[in-house]
Chain A
Amino acid sequence: MAAETAKAFAALERQAQVLMSAFIAAGHEAVSPAVIQPARYFLDVIGEGLRARTYVFTDPDGDELCLRPDLTVPTCRLHLERDAGAQQPAKYCYNGAAFRFQPQGSDSTHPREFRQAGIENFGDTEREAADAETVALILSALRAAGLQGSQLRIGDLGLFRALLKSVAMPERWRQLLMHRFWRPDAFRAELKRLVSGTGQALDPKRRDFVATLDETDREAAQAQVAAYLDDQGIELTGSRSLAEITESLLWVAADAKAAPLSPETAAMIERYVTVGGPALRVTEDLRTLAKAAGPDMTRAVDTFAERLKLLSATGVDLKTAEFSAEFGRNLEYYTGFVFEVVLPKLGRASPVAGGGRYDRLLKAVGAPRDIAAVGAAVHTERLLAAINGGSGAADNGGRA
């Protein structure tokens, strides 16, 4: 990786000042969270897969630390340090370095060390208004920095959750589908399994045993499992108890007995995933879907439409905005609205800014309850490259 030149440094500093001034003028307090963070917060929120993209290391005390891969989690931690109960709403902004391992080698659009300038808005329960305000502020800051010709992409994970809630299926299947939503292949396989009946996938011996379990009497079921293990000559080892194993087998039994997911419902879920197009037009497609799905989905579509109205009212031009139901599928910590600002010459794999709603993140890093939260960050090196005519910006191979 090339050493940074003084020229790029000065230009980035100037640009950061413009962005930060816009954020501060909108009521965000400038903060500077720690660069070195305990790795566990990120591992808990994003999972072990995070290590593949993060510089994780052990210090001489044996503590597992990391160079922050973004500034959102550090800002959440900073907020909770000041206000452990997260009682007060707060608006922050920051500009600082973030670090990500680039498995295919770093280049100018995918540097391993880059500066993020961003905003976070915690505790504002007027969610759609806060979503709209976040987009509007990011877009106006980008304009102030000199960016033109950008396109807005939006998504809404709340729509998918509502769709699942609308249709009849065991609650556990909803959780499974939600959990698998992030991995399209696993998701499709799960839908297929639920339609064909989950018992089909079990091997016959296990299916027969599971069918005999007494689901009305936990203790009796445990005794059955113990006897089965004994019979097979299997010892109970490890930290999962007989009760845990039995509980999980009872779920398998309940799933196998439940009526399979109807093919119509599965088709509707598949249809939702393919919804996409100009944001202003897509609302109609969603309404059609909601008619078939039910009231929860109708309410979620109303919320979506309301947010679009608020975006328009804050001056966001929605004519070129695109919606995709699949958008946000690779960002597990988002819980609702998501957006990205892209440029044709950089491509979708290299957005200059992005963000969304993550109402569960604060609790995951220590808040006593879920706190409404929405935020966004600008990839400042990409922004500078885009404004300066995009040096080295064209060669991105579909990387995020």
Chain B
Amino acid sequence: MSKLILAVPSKGRLMEQCTEIFTRAGLTLRKIGHARGYRGEIAELPEVEVAFISASEIAAYLKDGRIHLGITGEDLVREQMSDAATRVKLERKLGFGHADVVVAVPACWIDVTTMAELDEVSAAFRREHGRPLRVATKYLNITRQFFTGKGLSNYRVVESLGATEGTPAAGTAELIVDITSTGETLRANGLRILDDGVILKSEANLVSSNVAAWAAETNATRDAILSRLSRGQTSV
């Protein structure tokens, strides 16, 4: 009998929220062995094998089909797969882990409120400084896709793996693409979101991999998890 592999974030608030959502669905998500281990199970569904891994690795595993189902942010799915629609299916939004991926510029750029104005300024900036505007972000692919769609070409992406919102003040970038939930951190760093600069309203999703090995049993197990979760969510 082939088991369905479900990956769940391995730590922090995301892991707790996953456990809660399964509990509401009447499913007991628990670790096997000691508390710092990475393997788990769902007590009510013995045909499921649970793997506790980091949210960004979950996206990578879904892409390769090494797991059947995983809980991860839509932002990570979009960032890691240029062909997300063929590789995975976003089965269900889970109502937590909310984060908007946004374009933010220094608040003092009162001449820039839209992507079109950013486009105009990008040409002037290049003439003045002899180099393109730098956009600091960890979302390299999402940024490029969005900017290309808005017709911008006069910019350079600079990879930033932490404290991205500090890069404009530090002088290592002119603007950023980052996640925000309340906008507070952005404001505290003197940044403002462009009017049409919300790229993606992301939240945690239950995602299935289209390229994993699916069989009749794993299909049935997936449907059982989905129907339990939907009952759990509507009863809230």
Residues of A within 8 A of B (CB): 43-44, 46-49, 51-52, 103-105, 175-176, 179-180, 182-183, 185-186, 189-190, 203, 206, 209, 225, 228-229, 234-240, 244-245, 247-249, 251-252, 332
Q: Which residues of B contact A185 (CB under 8 A)?
A: 151
Report the minimum CB–CB distance from B206 to chain A (whole Å). 26
Are B82 and A103 in contact, with the CB atoms below 8 A?
yes
Assess whether B106 is interfacial by the CB under 8 Å rule.
yes
Provide the residues of chain B in CB contact with A234, threshold 8 Å.
107-108, 110, 190
B151 touches A228 (CB 8 A): no
Cα A248 to Cα B108 with chains together (Å): 13
B168 to A, closest residue via Cβ: A238
Does the CB pair A247–B124 fall under 8 Å? yes
**With contact pairs A235-B190, A240-B106 given, residues A186 and B153 touching in the complex (Cβ less than 8 Å):** no
Instruction: Indicate whether B233 reaches chain A with its CB closer than 8 angstroms.
Output: no
Q: Of A179, A206, A209, A247, which contacts B113 at CB under 8 A?
A: A206
Question: Measured between alpha carbons, how far is A189 from B108 in the docked complex, in Å?
Answer: 26
How many cross-chain pairs have Cβ atoms below 8 Å apart between A and B?
100
Which B residues touch A229, using CB under 8 A?
A: 108, 110
State which of A209, A235, A332 has its C-beta within 8 Å of the C-beta of B108: A235
A interface footprint on B103-130 (CB within 8 Å = 1, 0 otherwise): 0001111111100100111011100110
In this complex, what residue of B is CB-closest to A105? Answer: B83
17 A-B contact pairs sorted by A residue (CB < 8 Å): A43-B156, A49-B147, A49-B148, A176-B120, A186-B116, A206-B110, A225-B110, A234-B108, A234-B110, A235-B108, A238-B106, A239-B174, A244-B125, A245-B109, A245-B111, A248-B120, A251-B120
CB distance from B71 to the nearest CB of A (A): 26
| Given known A47-B154, A104-B83, contact A245–B144 (CB-CB < 8 A) | no
Q: Does B13 contact A (CB under 8 A)?
A: no
The residue from B125, B128, B144 contacting A52, defined by CB atoms under 8 A apart: B144
Residue of A nearest to B147 (CB): A48
Question: Most chain-B CB neighbours within 10 Å: which of A104, A229, A234, A252?
Answer: A234
CA A229 – CA B144 in complex, angstroms? 31
Q: Does B38 contact A (CB under 8 A)?
A: no
Query: Nearest chain B CB to A357's CB is how many angstroms away?
Result: 20
Give chain A residues whose Cβ lies under 8 Å from the Cβ of B190: 234-235, 237
Q: List, in ascending order, chain A residues with CB within 8 A of B29's CB.
A: none
Q: Does B157 contact A (CB under 8 A)?
A: yes
CB–CB B109/A239 < 8 A: no
Inside 8 A of B116's CB, which chain A residues have their CB?
186, 189-190
Give the shortest distance, in Å, between A210 (CB) and chain B (any CB).
Answer: 9
Q: Which of B112, B129, B157 is the one whose CB lies under 8 Å from A239?
A: B129
Whether A51 lies near B151 (C-beta < 8 A) is: no
Give Cα A235 to B129, complex, Å.
21
> Is A186 a contact of B150 with CB atoms below 8 Å?
yes
User: Are B124 and A48 closer than 8 Å at their CB atoms?
Assistant: no
The answer for the CA separation of A318 and B190 in the assembled complex, in Å, is: 60
Among all A-B residue pairs, the 10 with the closest Cβ atoms: A47-B153, A186-B151, A183-B151, A248-B111, A238-B106, A238-B168, A49-B148, A234-B107, A237-B190, A236-B108
Bound-state CA distance A239–B148 (Å) is 24
Most chain-A Cβ atoms within 10 A of its Cβ — which of B124, B128, B129, B153?
B153
Q: How distant is A151 from chain B, measured CB to nearest CB, in Å?
A: 30
B169 within 8 A of A: yes
- B148 & A179 in contact (Cβ 8 Å cutoff): no
Q: Is the CB of B123 within 8 A of A179?
A: yes
Distance (whole angstroms) from the CB of A261 to the closest CB of chain B:
16
B145 within 8 A of A: yes
Q: Taking the nearest CB of chain B, how far is it from the CB of A211, in angstroms?
A: 14
CA distance A189 to B190 in the complex (A): 30
Which of chain A's residues has its CB closest to B115's CB? A186
Cβ of B121: which chain A residues have Cβ within 8 Å of it?
240, 248
With A206-B113, A234-B108, A237-B190 as contacts: A182 and B151 at CB distance below 8 Å: yes
Is there contact, CB below 8 Å, between B169 and A237? yes
Q: Are B156 and A49 in contact (CB under 8 A)?
A: no
Sample of 14 more A-B contacts, CB < 8 Å, known A238-B174, A240-B121, A240-B125: A47-B152, A47-B153, A47-B154, A48-B132, A48-B144, A48-B153, A51-B140, A52-B82, A52-B141, A237-B168, A245-B110, A247-B124, A248-B121, A251-B120
Residue of chain B at shortest CB distance from A236: B108
| B133 CB, nearest partner CB in chain A, Å | 9
**Chain B positions 157-180 with a Cβ under 8 Å from a chain A Cβ:** 157, 168-169, 171, 174
Across the interface, which residues of B come within 8 angstroms of A245, CB to CB?
A: 108-111
Q: Which residue of B lies closest to A175 (CB)?
A: B123
Report whether B113 and A49 are in contact in the complex, using a CB–CB cutoff of 8 Å: no
Interchain CB contact (< 8 A) of B171 among A180, A183, A238: A238
- A182–B152 Cα distance when bound, in Å, is 10
Q: How far is the CB of A234 from chain B (nearest CB, A)?
A: 5
Nearest CB in chain B: distance from A186 CB, A: 4
From A104, A238, A247, A332, residue with most partner B Cβ within 10 Å: A238
For the complex, what is the distance from the CA of A236 to the CA of B124, rounded to whole Å? 18
Is residue B155 contacting chain A, with contact meaning CB distance below 8 A? yes
Distance of A46 Cα from B128 Cα, bound (Å): 20
Whether A48 contacts B111 in the complex (CB less than 8 A), given A237-B168, A239-B129, A239-B171, comes out as: no
CA distance in complex: A43, B128 (Å): 18
| B113 and A203 form a contact (CB under 8 A) | yes
Assembled-state Cα–Cα distance A43/B144 (Å): 12
CB neighbours (8 Å) of B111 from chain A are: 245, 248-249, 252
Give per-residue flags for B76-93: 1 if the beta carbon is below 8 A from chain A beta carbons, else 0. Answer: 000000110000000000
Nearest-neighbor residue (CB-CB) of A244 within chain B: B128
Complex contacts, B141 vs chain A, CB 8 Å: 52
Cβ contacts under 8 Å, A182 to chain B: 151
CB contact between B157 and one of A48, A203, A225 (< 8 Å): that residue:
A48
